[in-house]
């Protein structure tokens, strides 16, 4: 009887390990791409050509090269799209949260109406981290290590990036906000050492020293940008698909 119990315990343990490994390998997938998009699997030395529905796991990197585009769908429904000359790495993942980083490039993220409010997504650059539960925003990590985050819908919590110390708390639900949202006068006068809430129609710019400024932006004007325009159209298409699935 004891021997049988031990065997059953080992089977359950093995199943749990395999389930965790399966999840780690299936954190996200490449839904579509255009041009030259490459994937570097964790532990690999050579980049591989991307393919549609290619699974992505923790530690995997994706690089959309010149005149290229990629759309990544995470297992809990969040959508991330990459403009040309953009690179992302899936850093951490659990059943309810994912952390992704970008060192350079232009990235669009959509979690609005797509996932449960209990799911969390973080996108970080060397100088800023955006933590969200349900919103639409764009992050541009520039070659000079500065970062721009523009919020198109919802609210984004913005804190220090990966190159700066990460003060607790690091989750959107536990954020200790400074008074706001408020527009910071003048460029880069305040250090981003606390989490701030940025709402739709606002943009925060963080320079390589970790100082930031906030300002309003014209969403209609921004929509004339090719990458933004493409994302708005894809978001409309996505919502139609989701509505169709529910019906």
CATH number, domain containing residue 232? 2.60.120.1440
Mean pLDDT of 146-162: 91
Q: Is residue 240 packed enough to be buried (19+ CB in 10 Å), middle (13-18) or exposed (0-12)?
A: exposed
* pLDDT attached to residue 152: 93
Residue 214 lies in a domain: yes
Residue 178 lies in a domain: yes
Considering the entire predicted model, what is its pTM? 0.80
Residue 17 lies in a domain: no
Pick from 92, 71, 91: nearest CA to 80:
71
Residue 18 lies in a domain: no
Residue 22 lies in a domain: no
Residue 23 lies in a domain: no
Residue 240 lies in a domain: yes
Q: How far from the centroid of its chain's Cα atoms is residue 89's Cα? A: 10
Mean pLDDT of 30-54: 96
| In the predicted structure, residue 151 carries a pLDDT above the cut 90 | yes
Query: Which pLDDT tens digit goes with each residue over 58-105?
Result: 999 999 999 999 999 998 888 999 999 999 999 998 877 889 999 999
Residue 8: both structure tokens together: 């059953």
* pLDDT attached to residue 19: 38
E strands, the chain, are 28-34, 37-40, 48-49, 55-56, 61-64, 69-74, 79-82, 86-93, 97-110, 120-124, 128-132, 136-141, 147-153, 155-160, 190-191, 196-199, 202-206, 211-216
**Number of domains, the chain:** 1
Q: Which range marks the domain in which residue 184 is found?
A: 28-246
Residue 162 lies in a domain: yes
């Amino acid at each position: 009887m004891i021997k049988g119990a031990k065997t059953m315990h080992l089977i359950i343990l093995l199943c749990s390990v395999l389930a965790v490994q399966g999840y780690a390998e299936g954190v996200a997938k490449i839904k579509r791409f255009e041009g030259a998009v490459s994937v570097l699997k964790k532990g690999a030395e050579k980049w591989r050509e991307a393919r549609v529905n290619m699974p992505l796991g923790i530690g995997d990197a994706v690089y959309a090269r010149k005149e290229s585009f990629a759309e990544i769908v995470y297992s809990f429904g969040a959508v991330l799209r990459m403009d040309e000359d953009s690179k992302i790495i899936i850093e951490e993942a659990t059943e309810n949260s994912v952390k992704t980083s970008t060192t350079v490039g232009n990235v669009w993220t959509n979690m609005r109406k797509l996932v449960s409010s209990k799911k969390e997504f973080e996108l970080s650059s060397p100088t800023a981290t955006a933590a969200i539960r349900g919103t639409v925003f764009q992050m541009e990590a520039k070659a000079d290590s500065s970062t721009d985050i523009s919020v198109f819908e919802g609210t984004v919590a913005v804190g220090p990036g990966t190159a700066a110390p990460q003060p607790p708390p690091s989750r959107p639900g536990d954020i200790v906000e400074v008074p706001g949202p408020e527009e910071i006068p003048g460029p880069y006068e305040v250090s981003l050492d606390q989490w701030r809430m940025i709402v739709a129609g606002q943009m925060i710019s963080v320079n390589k020293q970790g100082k930031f400024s906030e300002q309003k932006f014209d969403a209609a004007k921004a929509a004339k940008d090719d990458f933004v325009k493409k994302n708005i159209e894809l978001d409309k298409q996505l919502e139609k698909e989701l509505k169709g699935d529910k019906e």
